Amino acid sequence: MSLLTKLREWFHKGNNTGESLGRRGEAVAAKFLRQLGYRILERGYDSPLGEIDIIAIDGRTIVFVEVKTRSSSDAGHPADAVDATKRRRMTQAALAYLKAHNLLQTPARFDVVAVTWRDAHEPPVIEHFQNAFAPVGSGQFFS
């Protein structure tokens, strides 16, 4: 069974469970990243400083991923929703995560996965933007 067929079946199941479009998008993004060889460490990481949808490992790099899911591009591209405030909060949450796990010397980056799910009968369009933005704030973050 192809990945697109599995995603289509999964989407229909998700629609019947009342799961939000955003949660379905995050799950599809995690599956997509696994297909690329990423190892998912956490989903829905929440700290007092901010939230990160997916934390993964790509090779030797920790990747903090923001997932934006839309049913259309009427309000703009999903990735455009990762504004300066979101980037700042993600940077703060990522730094807290790295400190808490003693990983400050580990290479890290921020990716964005945009999921557009126009039709329940078709698989979503998934776009992956590696290294989508630099850490926001002052002081040394990554080496």
Q: pLDDT per residue over 50-83, tens digit each?
A: 899 999 999 999 999 999 988 877 777 878 888 9
What pLDDT sits at residue 4? 58
Full-model pTM: 0.81
DSSP one-letter code for 124: P
35 touches 79 (CB < 8 A) = no
What pLDDT sits at residue 20? 83
pLDDT band at 143 (very low <50, low <70, confident <90, very high): very low
Annotate 16-37 with three-state secondary structure.
Answer: HHCCCHHHHHHHHHHHHHHHCC
Q: pLDDT per residue over 13-42, tens digit each?
A: 544 445 687 888 999 999 999 999 999 999
Domain ranges of the chain: 3-133
What pLDDT sits at residue 16? 47
- In CATH terms, 3-133 corresponds, of 3.40.1350.10, 2.30.30.90, 3.30.450.40, 3.40.50.300, to 3.40.1350.10
